[in-house]
Structure 1
C-alpha cells in the first residue's frame, strides 16, 4: 500500500462524500478517484479492496465529525449543567448541518454494516467505544444524570439527526425549530 497520509485523507474524505451522495452501492474505487480528482487507480493503490476502504471510512468518519478540541475545552470550562448540555447538543446539530455529508455517510455505513456481518463486527466496536466515551464524559464531567441519561441523549440525538438530515420536512418548523427541539429533548431527558 502507498504511504502518503495527506492523499489517504483526501481519498477517505472523497469516499465519505460518495457514500453520502450515492450510498454504499455507489462506493467504487473509480467513484472515489473521480470525487477526489485523482488519476484513475489511485484509490486501489491505497486500499486493498472495497471492504478495506469501508472499514477505514468507518474509522475516518469519527475523525471527520469530531468537534474542535478548542471549542470543547471552552464549552467545558463552564460548570456542568442541563443548560450546558443543551449547548453541547446544539453544537452537534450545528456540526451536522455544516458537514451533512459526513453524517449521512455515517448513517450509510451503519446500514451497510447491517447487511454485512464482517463490517458489523468492526463498526460495532467503533460505535461502542464512541458511546462509552460519551457516557464517561457525561458522568465523569459531573453532568446531571448517570449512564442511562447519557445513553438516552445519544439515542435521541441520533434519531433527531437522522430525521433532520434524511427527511427534514418531517420535523415541524424545519431548521428554525431545531434549537427548540434540542432544548426540549435535553430538558426531557436530563434531570435538573
Structure 2
C-alpha cells in the first residue's frame, strides 16, 4: 500500500470532486486518477476498493467541514445570545457554501449509503458523533434553548443548506441571510440573563 500522505490527500480530494460532479456511480479509480492528474492505476495503489474510497472521502469531507479551533474561539467571544446563534448559523452556511463541492459530495455519500450497509454504518457513526459533539458544544457554551432547540435548529439548517446548495433558485425570492435570520428567530428563544 502506498504511503505518500500528500498524494493520498490529493486523491481523496479528487474523489470528492468526482462525487460532487458525477455522483457515486462515477466514482471509479480511473475517474479519480484522471481528476487528480496522476497516472492511471495510482488510486488503486492507495485504496483497497471502492468502499475504501467512499470511506476515505467521507472522512476527508468531515475534516474539511470541521472549523479550526482558533476560528471557533474567535467566533465565540461574544456573550451567549440569540444574536450569537444567528452569527454562528451565518458562519455555518458560509463555510458550507465555500466548500459546496464537499457538501454535495457528502449528499452523494448519504445517497450511496442507502445502498451500502457498511458505508451507512460508518457514515451514521461519523455524522452522529459530529451531531453529539455540536450539541454538547451548544449546551456548554450556554447558548439559548435546550437540547430540543438544538435538534430542531440542526434539522432546519440542514434543510436550508440542502435547498440553497442544490436548488438555489427555489427560495431565491428571499435572501439567504434573511432565511438564516428567520430560522434562528423562529427556533431560538431570546437569551435570558442569569439572575442578579
Which residue does 2:194 correspond to in 1? none
The aligned counterpart of 1:171 is 171
**Counterparts of 1:112-151 in structure 2 under 5 Å?**
112-151=112-151
Q: Partners in 2 of 1:157 and 1:114 — Cα distance? A: 22
CA distance in 1 between counterparts of 2:16 and 2:148 reads: 31
**TM-score relative to the length of structure 2:** 0.94
Q: Report the Cα offset of residue 147 of structure 1.
A: 1.1
Q: Distance in 2 between matches of 1:149 and 1:81?
A: 13
SS where residue 10 of structure 1 aligns?
A: helix
Q: Please state how far the C-alpha of 1:82 moved relative to its aligned partner.
A: 0.8
What is the Cα-based RMSD across aligned positions, in Å? 1.1
Shift of 1:120: 0.7
After TM superposition, list the pairs within 5 Å mapping 1:1-192 onto structure 2: 1-173=1-173, 177-192=175-190
Distance 1:77 1:9 in 2: 33
Q: Give the match's secondary structure for 1:169.
A: coil
Q: Please give the alpha-carbon distance, in whole angstroms, between the structure 2 residues aligned to 1:111 and 1:146.
A: 31
Which sections of structure 2, spanning at least 5 residues, go unmatched?
191-196
Deviations 1:61-95 (A, max 9, x none): 11011223322110111111110111111111111
Q: Please report the TM-score for the alignment, with normalisation by the length of structure 1.
A: 0.95
Secondary structure of the 1:191 match is coil
Which structure's CA Rg is the greater one? 2
The structure in which a higher percent of residues are helix is 1
1:99 Cα deviation from its structure 2 partner: 1.2
> In structure 2, what is the Cα distance between the partners aligned to 1:34 and 1:131?
34
